[in-house]
Amino acid sequence: MQVAAEADQITIATLKIEQTHLISSLKNKDDSIEKKIHRLGEIIEDRFKRNDTSLAKEGILIYDINQISDVITKIFTRMHLRIAPHVPDYCYPRWKDPTKIHNRGLDECPAERSELDQLIGLSQNERNLLEQVKNMATSDMDPLYLTLKELIKSMETEATNRNVLLSGHEHRDPKETPKSKPEFSTEWEAIEWLRNVALKKYQDYVYEFPGPPQKQRYWATGWQEFGLLIIDITNLKSSLITTQWLSRIKYMFHQSKHGAAVLDEIETMICDACWDDETGKEKPDCNAEMEWDWFSPSKWRCPTCGGTKGKLRGLTREQVGDNKVPVITKAEILVNNLPGIYEALEHRITETDKRIYARKIALAIDLQKKS
């Protein structure tokens, strides 16, 4: 028994160290929030099952594992993480109390039966109290007002000591001064802004508010396939990009391999006039590689002869035939996964609307008081 107890203490010490590192890393983006919630819950559950008495010293007072969801929510709230209200969505069912929405058993210092309990009971009858204020004696107003004011200060101090956020004291992000829309003179600058600013901001938003766990792989595959289409455009060694191959294979079904191969031959940047087809080389004293020229009809111009027509190059029927199966497979992958991007974006828009209008409801009382 003593050996088992010592082993438990060693395991508990290891879990406490991991829990400390895990909590300190919650604001880092080294791993998904969902994984961190799961691991944090598993650590607390393991410590609880091992009768770890130091949980209470850390302010984690639980009597059953179905309170773990509330404990993690409190930890996230103390760290001002905006995902705190949604923590139960990522917890296992065994960590959530099915009979209660708010577990009052988690209060760290419950008050004994006293005048304070009577005041709490009165607060539950707020409407009647507000009506009675209209009829209270003028001489009683000032003493009661000062008492309530001091009571509020004491509660705010105690809430701070307990790391609890009272209503109206929620952490709010500082308002950002509206910035003018950036202007770009080149496509490269605009794409750099898209990658480093717009997509980075969206990536941070997705990390903070991950979608449903059962949709993660589907949505991730959709984004990956879209990215591969972009990368495909930059591949200078490929005869055709994916979308062009899809058109060729479709044409092959309606016509033939040869017809698909010679359909829309590609004009190259090799000058037709300076290239010798018989030798397969440039003609003597010629540089057949054309240069970019905005004013040329083909946007290319030969530095040797000034020609603007490049040699035409098509595919072979063997190339078309060999790519039939791979292209059809790729088409199937795109059809099955690209809709995941639309579904993910639609989810973000809907969820953002909910958060925006939930915030408006929460601010409505403050705004009414200020007005």
**What's phi and psi for 157, nearest 5 deg?**
-65, -45
CA distance between the termini of the chain? 67
Residues 154-167 have pLDDT tens digits of 888 888 887 777 77
CB 333 within 8 A of CB 242: no
81 in any annotated domain: yes
**What is d(CA 333, CA 318) in angstroms, rounded to the nearest whole number?**
24
Q: Which pLDDT score is estimated for 121?
A: 60
DSSP 207-221: HHS---GGGHHHHHH
Q: Which pLDDT score is estimated for 125?
A: 65
138 in any annotated domain: yes
119 in any annotated domain: yes
Those residues of the chain that have pLDDT short of 70 are 1-4, 30, 100-125, 168-179, 238, 256-264, 314, 316-317, 353, 355, 357-371
> Residue 355: what residue type?
R
Q: Which pLDDT score is estimated for 113?
A: 40
**What is d(CA 341, CA 257) in angstroms, rounded to the nearest whole number?**
34
CB 69 within 8 A of CB 92: no
Sign of CA dihedral 93, 97, 99, 101: negative
**What is d(CA 170, CA 162) in angstroms, rounded to the nearest whole number?**
15
Region for 12 from its dihedrals, namely left if φ exceeds 0, alpha if ψ lies in -120 to 50, beta otherwise: alpha
The answer to whether residues 96 and 139 belong to one domain is no
Q: Which domain holds residue 35?
A: 2-106
> What domain count does the chain have?
4
CB 59 within 8 A of CB 101: no
CB 360 within 8 A of CB 368: no
The answer to whether residues 46 and 128 belong to one domain is no
172 in any annotated domain: no
DSSP 294-319: TTSTTSEE-TTT---PEEEE---HHH
Tokens 């107890």 belong to 5
Q: Which pLDDT score is estimated for 112?
A: 39
Which of 67, 84, 106 represents a domain boundary (last residue)?
106
The answer to whether residues 288 and 366 belong to one domain is no
Residues 304-316 have pLDDT tens digits of 999 998 888 767 6
177 in any annotated domain: no
CA 266 to chain centre: 42
